[in-house]
Amino acid sequence: MAESARHGATVRRVAVLVVAAMVCVLAGGGIAWAWWRGSGTATAPTTRVSSGTMDVQVVGLGGGLVGPGGTVTLSSLTLTGAVPGAGASEVVTVRNAGSRSATVTATTSRTGTLGTSFTTSASFGAADTGTGCGEGSGGTATVPAGGTATLCVAVVLSATAPSTTQGQAGGVSVALGADLPGTSWTDTGTIVSGPVNAATVPVPTLSCGLLGIGSVTFNWTAVPSATGYRFSYGSGGTTVPVAAGTTSYRVTQTATGATAQVRAERTFAGTTWVSAGSATRTYTVALGLLGVCA
């Protein structure tokens, strides 16, 4: 029994020594080595990548913007001889000829000498009132592949447009930009209007009329659209209003080598436009003498 116990103790001491020797080797008592193994899981992208086409077009306008870029003319959208408060509008049909749903944005601008008194707009789904566009969804729409969307385009001259608006001319330009969500694909096109211009109050023609003792009478041609006239005379440029139905003015104020000029005016609800001045006339008025006019 005692021999067996001693043998067991010897075996345990040998085991401890073997473990201690292995620890010494791995800790730097010789060549250390190890074996690592890693693993992972590959996942598919959340967004599928696929091919397709895109082409934004306009139905029924010449080339229709087939293919990338291009320009078409909406000749029916015109506003000529515009007066304050006047407007024009037309509806076009935009088509997505591509293979995927696209977002189309319409942006308007003025061309030529048209100033800020001319306002332009483009709205998808809006009704054409003839002088403007009703309420729509705005300048951006999502058009499905092969689908269409109506776009109302309008140009309006402000009711308070100043007299300096007279004679401004140009047009309306609508830039169409399309893109496919989630991609960098784009297509563009441009719609241009017919002529857009503001009216001009005609200039009356001034002439010398009856010459009297100490007076000169001036006559001018009637302007059909005039709501009145502004007659200027004398070396100091005195201006007097003259009613629409009157086309003459008698000057009795003494002057030597003075000038006279007339302008027509047209009054609207929110503003008044005045024509350019007529050619001037030179005159002389002296007490007791016959007036002179040239």
Predicted confidence band of residue 40 (pLDDT cuts 50, 70, 90):
very low
Stronger pLDDT, 135 or 62, i.e. the higher one: 135
How many angstroms separate the CA atoms of 168 and 190, rounded?
Answer: 22
Mean pLDDT estimate for the chain: 85
DSSP string spanning 175-213? EEEEE-TTS--EEEEEEEES-EEE--PPPPPEEEEEEEB
pTM: 0.78
Q: Name 151's bridge partners.
A: 92, 124
And the tokens for 63? Answer: 């080339």
Predicted confidence band of residue 85 (pLDDT cuts 50, 70, 90):
very high
> How much of the chain exceeds pLDDT 90, in percent?
76
Residue 18 has pLDDT above 90, yes or no: no
Residue 12 has pLDDT above 90, yes or no: no
Closest CA to 192 of 60, 73, 89: 73
> How much of the chain exceeds pLDDT 70, in percent?
83
Cβ(171)–Cβ(193) below 8 Å: yes
Most confidently predicted of 61-75, 101-115, 171-185: 101-115
Q: Name 156's bridge partners.
A: 87, 119
How many angstroms separate the CA atoms of 246 and 219, rounded?
Answer: 9
> End-to-end alpha-carbon separation of the chain, Å?
159
